[in-house]
């Protein structure tokens, strides 16, 4: 099995920089769409054999250094008593959003093997399939991101209902976040027990917050999740999207690897975080629509910013766009593998 990804998570020396992509198992691949044409999104998530097949596709087709489980961050919500639907062309819709103490009191906390057994079975299948290939990453949404869906009833541009609960009913907010955090801890521990060799916590929407609000309303709960996973023996990747202004408090919350979006320079961000933590990122996803020579130039720039310090995992600054040309993804992966083997002086010649 390739070890570069896990070594980089541990800030150990690697022969080259490992690369994987958020949403790498997805709609940009014709092989994925062939399966999707026959099944709904939730059917794919809840059928372990299909989830495993889709997870393996980018490993075999574009040569990434880690597989990430095909699933969705909202899958644990059904076990909590949240009515979830993936509406056509509308994304996730929650039919019973949580807006009061009474709503929070109704939320159930189940063991993950009971609430999402199909996720664990997919992981067990994948570990058998990946035994001589690459490591497997499990994942979950972070407390704020899951709570924002639960409160808003779906996606949001303003997060008005979330912020109103924070400011008007902080006790209710913290009670909800405590329940969500407990579900996440159990969910990720179950993934690890099933065979996940690393896990990523996605805080996709936390960039909407001011730093002081993050510190008061999010930090204690994200830290609880990170601390709850200590002792599992697997690396924890903490990715907060659109959160360049929050990096110091994201680091304070914890994680062995801090994911970076593309809105910050990798070298400046790593210096702010400290070199005692690994980093992941951070190519702008739409750069994959550029000509190959431009993609390679951007790869070299990010690698030069990493300066060959141990602990860099190459990734996009968020999920891959659904219209991305597969050939350009291959160009990216090959460029990372090629140029990360070069001396730093040659990387900086451009």
The pTM is what?
A: 0.97
For the cut 80, the answer to whether the pLDDT of residue 225 exceeds it is yes
Q: Is 27 known to be catalytic?
A: yes
The confidence band for 350, taking pLDDT boundaries of 50, 70 and 90, is low
Please give the backbone phi and psi of residue 19, each rounded to the nearest 5 degrees, phi first. -140, 135
For the cut 70, the answer to whether the pLDDT of residue 349 exceeds it is no
What tokens appear for 283 in the block? 């190519």
Can you state the angle between helices 160-168 and 170-194, rounded to 10 degrees?
Answer: 120
β 91-94/84-87 pair status: antiparallel
How far apart are the C-alpha atoms of 57 and 71, rounded to whole Å? 14
From the candidates 10, 16, 27, 263, give the one annotated as an active-site residue: 27
Proportion of the chain above pLDDT 70, given as a percent: 99
The confidence band for 1, taking pLDDT boundaries of 50, 70 and 90, is confident
From the candidates 36, 127, 223, 348, give the one annotated as an active-site residue: 36
Please give the backbone phi and psi of residue 84, each rounded to the nearest 5 degrees, phi first. -115, 135
For the cut 70, the answer to whether the pLDDT of residue 240 exceeds it is yes
For the cut 80, the answer to whether the pLDDT of residue 69 exceeds it is yes
The confidence band for 347, taking pLDDT boundaries of 50, 70 and 90, is confident
The confidence band for 346, taking pLDDT boundaries of 50, 70 and 90, is confident
Q: From residue 295, give the alpha-carbon distance in Å to each of 64, 211, 298, 308, 336.
A: 16, 33, 5, 19, 10
pLDDT (0 to 100) of residue 287: 98
Q: Is 23 known to be catalytic?
A: yes
From the candidates 10, 16, 72, 348, give the one annotated as an active-site residue: 72
Q: Is 276 known to be catalytic?
A: no
How far apart are the C-alpha atoms of 56 and 1, rounded to whole Å? 14
Q: Is 164 known to be catalytic?
A: no
From the candidates 11, 23, 224, 251, give the one annotated as an active-site residue: 23
Q: Are 243 and 297 in contact (CB under 8 A)?
A: no
pLDDT (0 to 100) of residue 322: 97
Q: Is 186 known to be catalytic?
A: no
Q: Residue 123, SS3?
A: helix
From the candidates 28, 149, 159, 214, give the one annotated as an active-site residue: 149
What tokens appear for 323 in the block? 């219209």
**What's the pLDDT tens digit per position in 187-217?**
999 999 999 999 999 999 999 999 999 999 9
**What's the pLDDT tens digit per position in 76-115?**
999 999 999 887 766 899 999 999 999 999 999 999 999 9
Strand partners, 239: 202, 259
- Taking residues 256-267, what's their average pLDDT? 97
How far apart are the C-alpha atoms of 152 and 317, rounded to whole Å? 25
What tokens appear for 264 in the block? 């910050």
Q: From residue 147, give the alpha-carbon distance in Å to each of 9, 70, 217, 242, 252.
A: 28, 21, 11, 17, 20
**What's the pLDDT tens digit per position in 301-330?**
999 999 999 999 999 999 999 999 999 999
What domains are defined for the chain? 4-347 (3.20.20.210)
Can you give the three-state secondary structure of 326-339, one letter per residue?
A: HHHHHHHHHHHHHH
């Amino acid at each position: 099995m390739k070890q570069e990804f896990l070594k980089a998570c541990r800030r150990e020396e690697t022969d080259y920089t490992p690369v994987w992509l958020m949403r790498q198992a997805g709609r940009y691949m014709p092989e994925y769409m062939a399966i999707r044409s026959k099944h709904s999104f939730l059917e794919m998530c809840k059928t372990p054999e299909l989830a495993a097949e889709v997870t393996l596709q980018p490993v075999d087709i574009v040569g990434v250094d880690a597989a990430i489980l095909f699933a969705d961050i909202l899958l644990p919500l059904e076990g909590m008593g949240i009515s979830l639907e993936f509406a056509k062309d509308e994304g996730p819709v929650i039919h019973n959003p949580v807006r009061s103490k009474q709503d929070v009191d109704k939320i159930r906390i189940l063991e993950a093997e009971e609430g999402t057994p199909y996720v664990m079975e997919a992981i067990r299948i994948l570990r058998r399939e990946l035994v001589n290939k690459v490591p497997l990453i499990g994942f979950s949404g972070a407390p704020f991101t899951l709570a924002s869906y639960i409160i808003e009833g779906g996606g949001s541009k303003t997060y008005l209902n979330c912020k109103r609960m924070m400011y008007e009913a902080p006790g209710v907010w913290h009670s909800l976040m405590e329940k969500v955090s407990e579900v996440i801890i159990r969910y990720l521990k179950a993934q690890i027990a099933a065979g996940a060799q690393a896990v990523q916590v996605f805080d996709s929407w936390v960039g909407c917050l001011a730093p002081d609000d993050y510190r008061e309303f999010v930090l204690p709960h994200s830290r609880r999740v990170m601390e709850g996973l200590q002792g599992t023996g697997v690396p924890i990747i903490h990715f907060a999207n659109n959160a360049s202004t929050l990096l110091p408090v994201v680091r304070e919350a914890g994680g062995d690897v801090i994911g970076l979006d593309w809105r910050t320079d990798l070298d400046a961000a790593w210096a702010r975080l400290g070199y005692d933590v690994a980093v992941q990122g951070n190519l702008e996803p739409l750069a994959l629509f550029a000509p190959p020579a431009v993609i390679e130039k951007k790869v070299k720039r990010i690698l030069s910013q990493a300066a060959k310090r141990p602990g860099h995992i190459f990734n996009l600054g968020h999920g891959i766009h659904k219209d991305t040309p597969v050939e350009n993804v291959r160009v990216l992966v090959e460029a990372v593998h090629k140029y990360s083997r070069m001396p730093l002086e040659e990387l900086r010649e451009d």
